Amino acid sequence: MRYFITFSYDGTCYHGWQVQPNAATVQERLNDALSKLLPTPTECVGAGRTDTGVHASKMVAHFDTEQSLDVEQFAFRLNRILPEDIAVDGVKQVDDDLHARFSAILRTYHYFVYTKKNPYRRHYAHRLTFVPNYELMNQAAALLLDAEDFTSFSKLNNDQKTNICDVQHARWVQIEEDYWRFEITANRFLRNMVRAVVGTLLEVGRGRMSIDEFRKVIAAQNRCSAGESVAANALFLVDVQY
The residues carrying an active-site annotation are 51
Indicate the SS3 state at residue 221: coil
Q: How are beta strands 106-114 and 126-127 bridged, if at all?
A: parallel
Residue ranges in 102-242 assigned as alpha helix (H)? 134-142, 193-205, 211-220
* Pairing, β 55-64 against β 235-241: parallel
How far apart, in whole angstroms, are the C-alpha atoms of residue 123 and residue 198? 18
Give residue 123's identity as a one-letter amino acid code: H
In 3D space, the residue among 64, 69, 34, 62 whose CA is nearest the CA of residue 48 turns out to be: 62
- Asked if 34 and 69 touch (Cβ cutoff 8 Å), the reply is no
In 3-state terms, what secondary structure has residue 182? strand
Task: Give CA–CA dist 114/69, Å, rounded.
Answer: 44
